[in-house]
Structure 1
Amino acid sequence: MSFMSPWWLLLLPLVPAMLLAYLMMLRRGSRQAVRFTNLPTLRTVAPRNPAWRKHLLAGMFLTLLTVLVVGAAQPAATVKVPRERATIMVAIDVSLSMQATDVAPSRFEAAKASAKAFIEALPQRFNVGVVSFAGTANVVASPTANRVAALSAIDNIGLERRTAIGEAVFASITAIKTFDAGNGSDPPPAHIVLLSDGDNTYGRSVASAVNASRAASIPVSTIAFGTPYGTVTIEGETTTVDVNKATLRALATQTDGHAYEAEDSAQLSEVYESIGTSLGWRPESRDISSWFTALAALLALAGGALSLTWYSRLP
């Protein structure tokens, strides 16, 4: 919890000071009562009431003051509110290594299936685009609220040679900027979700992609695809295709995104769900001083009611 007018909190030390003054008055009152030697007269001028009643009322009063001071300081709580709009680019690696079957039925088919599930689950107010990348990166679906265009683009992509992760990031950023050009100085938040098995073998470097992403304030979340045991057969030759998790983790962490690892299709679906949740909400600070005002009013009413009941007067 934070405070929008914290200087009001400087009054809080007055509350324990008043408590101390109250305790001193109680002690002084008990000393004066002892001076009366005529007990019947003492009972007449000071009728007995349970001591806890006045202590309770004093405690409620001090609590009321504390609540009022905190309320005056305008406390604010951080809450999650839905994003009104956002632009998401899904970049899918279509290099030949993605045909490895260590993720059933293959890395490529599992990626396509989960990317489609992710897009379908996003809030309708989000715009979604698709980039496929191998030796080059191509925007196969420009950002749009039309889910059909993005889903059809994923169905139609095919495998090619090489892997250009850096180019995929640059292509995604360009697509986002082009789409956001009509939004003036207040473009919607954007995010890139990149699926790959991790080796940048062609095109611009991952480091240059990181710089471009940071300059555009567009995070990149990555999903390391596959296991250390994947193999592919190209032109009759079988080759092991490991996952370069370090490259993908560096891309994500250096752009304020998140790095995930998915070694099977079920786990990948969970990863996409967590990404969609994080993109769907944004933290916002909200004034909750009205809660403290309401609590102070309840304390005042309760204290007044008790005082009228016990002493036939208001405090």
Structure 2
Amino acid sequence: MEIILSNVHFLRPAWLLMLLPGLALPWLWRRSQAQQRRLRGIIAPHLLPFLLVTPEDRHRWRPVHLCAAVLVVGALAAAGPTWEQDRPAFVQNRAPLIIAVDLSPSMDASDVSPTRLEAAKHTLQQLVNRRSGARTALIAYAGSAHLVLPATDDPALLDTFVQALSTDLIQRPGKNVGAVIEQAKRLLAVENTPGTLLLMTDGADAGALDSLKQSLEGSALQVLVMAVGSASGGIIRDANGQPRTDSNGRPALGTFDAAALKALAHATDAPLGSLTLSGDDLDWIEGHVRQHFQAASAEQQALQWKDAGYWLCGPLLLIAFFSIRRGWSVNWSAVLVLGLGFALTPAPAQANGWADAFFTRDQQGRWAFEHQHFPAAAALFVDPYWKGIAAYNAADFDLALATFAQLDTPQAYFYLGNIYVRRFTFDQAIAAYQRALQLQPQFPEASANLALALALQQDTDSAERNTPEVKPDAIQFDKQPGKGQSKPLLTPQASSDERWLQNLTTSPANFLRQKFRLQDQATPKDTP
């Protein structure tokens, strides 16, 4: 460990005031023990040295010296000595990234194999896997911008929605980057930390670039532009790999507007890169994300020096070890107070007399909730909202339904909608989500779940309509009377979000298509 003396300083220098009593204690003790000073006013000074018999003290170290050492070393440790900047390894993973993918028809051009969009999706898959544990959000855009997935650290969930992206999801034509920036700013406000927006596109609307710089003023959002495609362009192909044709019957070509991309990068003050499929583009993205987060994050500035005070814990323990000597007493009051504190700690599974005496039921429930004892937390909470949340996490949906029904808040209606969707009562779920959005219009989770409930309801109705009504000719039972035993077939209720999602009957692509269609219908065409 290299120590640069010019960097040595203290993070909490006020604790250095404890050095004064620590250094003064031995001097004050010696002064109080000086017999000559006490007898100087009684016996003549020239006779005093010959009348005093001073016994030889074999113990050079006294309790006062060890107490002074504890104060000095403890003051230095508490003051936080430091000389090295703190750059944690998880800075890159904590830097949020918002990915916006262009879904206009030109992204189906085949100048990048197999198509521009498929190449971009392959790069995003590698990027998500490399940033495992990072918070990444996904936006799809063309003539309108839509949130596909809020910031999440689940790479499997991200990859599911990335693979569902296709150019037929958004019907409104264009490349509305302004709407993407507004979506990204709202996401960044939730994260409350500097972040980066990555635009993966093959062009831009030149007439809408003037307002982009004004949209980014005062924002902690950094923009990166990654060009997808080649200057030669390519033939646009459909999902089956067949060339698409224009109105004249000729193969449709996907243009690559390099000038518009440069103008977009200039308007957003963004670095301009290109899709290489070699890994260099991933390094380019991660480098810019990390540098922006380190430069702009106020949290990083507060944590930029490592606290080395804990190195002094060893000397403190060594001093305490030498304090255990015959004839020296120990004050056990602090130990008794500490033991009493442990005795008053509430049990995770049940309340006790001590906990009820010193903690409210909601405080005990919060302790159990934070330690993931959800059934116990649901039994302890008095507050209906927290009681419902605990019951929901404990998969006790009957209790959660009865508790949330008492509240008239957007969050309560959101969880009611989730419970109704789990029970496949989509009409009630849609009504609950709509009520949540009435109370809180800016509620992205409720909007996304409303679109999901509508898609599930549509798929269910379609399946019922397409079910053939065929009556059997005859029913024959091969079980003889008195033999065998009938048992009811029980379907286990999904107890986790992951298992419930696996039971859904709609695909991510259908869900996104339905969601984007509803959002485009609710938004005027001239609104970003």
Check whether TM > 0.5.
yes
- Percent identity (aligned): 20
Structure 1 stretches of 4+ moved >6 Å: 76-79, 284-288
Structure 1 spans left out of the alignment, 5+ residues: 6-75, 181-186, 291-315
1:183 maps to none
Alignment pair present for 1:209 and 2:240: no
Q: 2:150 aligns with which of 134, 138, 142?
A: 142
What TM-score, normalized by structure 1, do the two folds share? 0.56
Instruction: List gaps (5 residues or longer) in structure 2.
Output: 9-82, 237-243, 309-528
Q: Residue 248 of structure 1 corresponds to which residue in structure 2?
A: 261
Among 120, 130, 138, the alignment partner of 1:121 is: 130
Distance in structure 1 (CA, Å) of the matches to 2:97 and 2:108: 25
Distance change in 2, residues 1:238/1:122 (3 Å): same
Q: Which has the higher contact order (CA 8 A, sep 6+)?
A: 1
The 1:239/1:274 distance shift into structure 2, 3 A limit, reads: same
- Over 3 Å counting, the alpha-carbon distance change for 1:251 and 1:218 in structure 2 is farther
Greater C-alpha Rg:
2
Partner of 2:113 in structure 1? Answer: 104
In 1, Cα distance between equivalents of 2:202 and 2:287: 24
Matched residue, 1:163: 175
Compare the two structures and name the one with the higher strand fraction. Answer: 1
The AA in structure 2 aligned to 1:278 is: H
> Do structure 1's residue 153 and structure 2's residue 180 form an aligned pair?
no
Deviations 1:170-214 (A, max 9, x none): 22222222x32xxxxxx222100110001327xx92332332223
Q: Over residues 194-242 of structure 1, what are the superposed CA-to-partner deviations in whole Å (9 max), with x where a residue is unaligned?
A: 10001327xx923323322233220110111101222323444334433
Q: Tell me if the contact between 1:91 and 1:193 (Cα under 8 Å) persists in the aligned partners.
A: yes
Alignment of 1:158-197 (within 5 A): 158-160=166-168, 161-177=173-189, 179-180=190-191, 187-197=192-202
For residue 203 of structure 2, what is the aligned residue in structure 1? 198
CA distances 1:238-258 after superposition (whole Å, capped 9, x unpaired)? 344332233333443554532
- Corresponding residue number in structure 2 for 1:259: 272
Alignment of 1:17-166 (within 5 A): 81-82=88-89, 83=91, 85-124=94-133, 126-160=134-168, 161-166=173-178
Query: Aligned partners of 1:107 and 1:97: how far apart in 2?
Result: 8
Kept after mapping to 2: 8 A contact 1:190/1:218:
yes
- Cα distance in structure 1, aligned partners of 2:187 and 2:122: 23
Whether the aligned pair in 2 keeps the contact of 1:229 and 1:241 (CA below 8 Å) is no
Q: CA deviation at 1:278?
A: 3.3
Q: Contact conserved, 1:166 with 1:200, CA < 8 A, in 2? A: no
Report 1:224-303 matches (<5 A).
Answer: 224-231=227-234, 232=236, 233-235=244-246, 236-262=249-275, 264=276, 266-267=277-278, 269-280=279-290, 282=294
What CA distance in whole angstroms lies between the structure 1 residues aligned with 2:273 and 2:185? Answer: 21
Contact 2:209/2:267, CA 8 A, preserved across alignment: no
Change beyond 3 A, Cα 1:199–1:238: farther
Measured after TM superposition, the shift of residue 99 of structure 1 is 0.6
Tell me which residue corresponds to 1:38. none
Question: How many Å separate the matches in 2 of 1:173 and 1:237?
Answer: 41
- Alpha-carbon RMSD across the aligned residues, in angstroms, is 3.3
Cα distance, 1:150 vs structure 2: 1.8
Whether the 8 Å CA contact 1:100–1:106 is kept in 2: the answer is yes
Q: TM-score, normalised by structure 2?
A: 0.35
The number of residue pairs the alignment matches comes to 207
Read off the aligned partner of 1:107 and give its amino acid letter. Answer: R
State the match for 1:25 in structure 2.
none
8 Å CA contact 2:136, 2:151 repeated in 1: yes
Contact 2:188–2:221 (CA under 8 A) maintained in structure 1: no
Letter in 2 for 1:219: Q
Q: Please state how far the C-alpha of 1:138 moved relative to its aligned partner.
A: 0.8
User: What code does the residue aligned with 1:92 have?
Assistant: V
The change in CA–CA distance for 1:81 and 1:211 in structure 2 (over 3 A counts) is farther
Per-residue CA deviation, residues 72-91 of structure 1 (Å, 9 max, x unaligned), is xxxx9988654272221100
Counterpart-to-counterpart distance in 2, 1:244 and 1:210:
20
Q: Measure the CA separation in 2 of the matches of 1:234 and 1:170.
A: 34
